[in-house]
Amino acid sequence: MIAGLVLLIGGAGVGLFGSLLGLGGGILLVPLLTLGFGRPLREAVAISLVSVIVTSSAGAGVYLRRHVANLRLGMTLELFTACGALLGGLVAFALPGPVLEGLFALLLGYVAVSMLRRREPARAAAPTAQTEPAIDADGPLVEGARDGFTTPSPSLPAAPSEPATPDAATALDFTAHLSGPGYRVTHLGLGTVGAVFAGIVSALLGVGGGIVKVPLMTLAMNVPLKVATATSNMMIGITATSSAVIYLLRGEINPYIAGPVAIGVFVGASIGTRVINRIDTRVLRWLFIAVLLLTAVQMAAKAVSR
Partner 1 sequence: MSVTRRGVETPVSDAAFAIEATIARLLVLGTYTAIGMVLLGVIGMALTGVDPLGVATAPSFDLGRIPADILALRPEGFLWLGLVLVLALPIGRVVVAGLGFLAARDGRLALVSLLVLLVVTGSILAAMGLEG
CB of 40 to partner 1, least distance (A): 12
- At 156 the three-state DSSP class reads strand
74 phi, psi to nearest 5 deg: -60, -45
Nearer to partner 1, 50 or 105 (CB): 50
CB of 234 to partner 1, least distance (A): 8
Residue type, 242: S
Taking Cα atoms as reference points, which of 118, 144, 143 lies closest to residue 129?
144
- At 33 the three-state DSSP class reads helix
Positions that interact with partner 1 (CB under 8 A): 1, 3-4, 7-8, 37, 50, 53-54, 56-58, 60-65, 67, 69, 71-72, 75-76, 78-79, 82-83, 85-86, 89-90, 93, 163-166, 170-171, 174, 176-177, 179-182, 237-238, 240-246, 248-251, 253-260, 262-263, 266
Q: Contact, 136 vs 19, CB < 8 A?
A: yes
∠ CA 111-114-117, nearest 5°, is 155
Taking Cα atoms as reference points, which of 113, 168, 119 lies closest to residue 147?
119
Nearer to partner 1, 57 or 153 (CB): 57
142 phi, psi to nearest 5 deg: -115, 115
CB of 75 to partner 1, least distance (A): 5
Nearer to partner 1, 71 or 284 (CB): 71
CA distance 173 to 170: 5
CB of 298 to partner 1, least distance (A): 20
Nearer to partner 1, 53 or 108 (CB): 53
Q: Return the number of other C-beta atoms located less than 10 Å from residue 282's C-beta.
A: 13
CB of 306 to partner 1, least distance (A): 22
Nearer to partner 1, 56 or 281 (CB): 56
CA distance 81 to 121: 30
Nearer to partner 1, 107 or 238 (CB): 238
Nearer to partner 1, 78 or 136 (CB): 78
CB of 265 to partner 1, least distance (A): 10
Taking Cα atoms as reference points, which of 114, 90, 104, 121 lies closest to residue 40?
104
